[in-house]
Amino acid sequence: MTLGTVSTNKAFGGTQGVYTHPSTETGTEMTFSVFVPDHAPGEKLPVLWYLSGLTCTHANVTEKGEFRAACAEHRVIFVAPDTSPRGEGVPDDADGAYDFGLGAGFYVNATEEPFAKNYRMQAYIESELPDLIAAHFPADMARQGITGHSMGGHGALTIALRNPDRFKSVSAFSPIVSPLNCPWGEKALTGYIGADRNTWRQYDACAMIEDGASVPDILVDQGTGDNFLEGQLKPELLQAICDAKGQKLTLRMQEGYDHSYYFISTFLADHVAWHAARM
């Protein structure tokens, strides 16, 4: 439970911090950020997890997300982990591509070599980091929500569907809803999990819902100007399976918005409020 402090800054009456710790799951030092609103001594606050997308670290949403005013207003702790293990000796994509390896952990527990040792982001997000947050921050772990962007939207949906008793709310921005049916997912899951597509279903939100997983409701924002919309994201697949299985879904197609943090920052405060109402 060793925790190192990289930086702390006062913001909106609370504290924005960046921290490091040695991870037993990934075998590396991991960095994450936490915003803690102003609170009374001994008070516990609900926690909203934000999982980032391909190529990102904790820093992207921390610096561009524009969530702190909403978190301060609704009194919600905001946790932003990294997207993969990092460091010397951590295996990467052989060609240095952005969509596999460093920065692209896909929130799975890898079983294929040489990735199985370090790429355990599912266990890191579901087990190790929550224990650290509970030990070091004024977090009410009985009130948790989760959201994320793109690859992180995939992570948020699958982790919430896997842990419906833990998360009271789940939302996503431009999520990869079905890695079974897009090039990003096919590359990542083959590399991390192997060629047997049946084993991929545990990391595919549409397949999980088809197989019986459910949560009270899901909020998804997707920009119509997103250049990954048709080839990689395919929100219509999530809508179809939710309709077929009776899973409550609010899919908001936001006219003209792209895949960037200009889009995310426009609607992130709205997501914070949506989660706060459910936590």
CATH number of the structural domain spanning residue 23: 3.40.50.1820
Residue 270 forms part of a structural domain: yes
pLDDT of residue 270: 98
Q: Does residue 102 carry a pLDDT above 90?
A: yes
Q: Which of 23, 150, 171, 178 is catalytic?
A: 150
Is 165 an annotated catalytic residue?
no
Is 21 an annotated catalytic residue?
no
User: What is each CA distance from 72 to 66, 76, 172, in whole angstroms?
Assistant: 11, 7, 21
How far is residue 148's CA from residue 212's CA, in Å, rounded to a whole number? 22
183 pLDDT band, cuts 50/70/90, is very high
Q: Does residue 1 carry a pLDDT above 80?
A: no
Residue 2 forms part of a structural domain: no
Instruction: State yes or no: cis peptide before 114, omega within 30 of 0.
Output: yes
Residue 1 forms part of a structural domain: no
Q: Which of 82, 226, 271, 275 is catalytic?
A: 226
Boundaries of domain holding 26 = 7-277
How far is residue 222's CA from residue 256's CA, in Å, rounded to a whole number? 10
- Whether pTM exceeds 0.85: yes
Residue 203: what residue type?
A: Y
Q: Which of 149, 259, 271, 275 is catalytic?
A: 259
Is 226 an annotated catalytic residue?
yes
Q: Quote the tokens at residue 160.
A: 């919430």
pLDDT of residue 124: 98
pLDDT of residue 50: 98
How far is residue 16's CA from residue 12's CA, in Å, rounded to a whole number? 9
How far is residue 55's CA from residue 234's CA, in Å, rounded to a whole number? 20
User: Total structural domains in the chain?
Assistant: 1
Q: Does residue 30 carry a pLDDT above 90?
A: yes
| Residue carrying structure tokens 């919309």 | 229
pLDDT of residue 2: 87
141 pLDDT band, cuts 50/70/90, is very high
Q: Quote the tokens at residue 274.
A: 């949506």
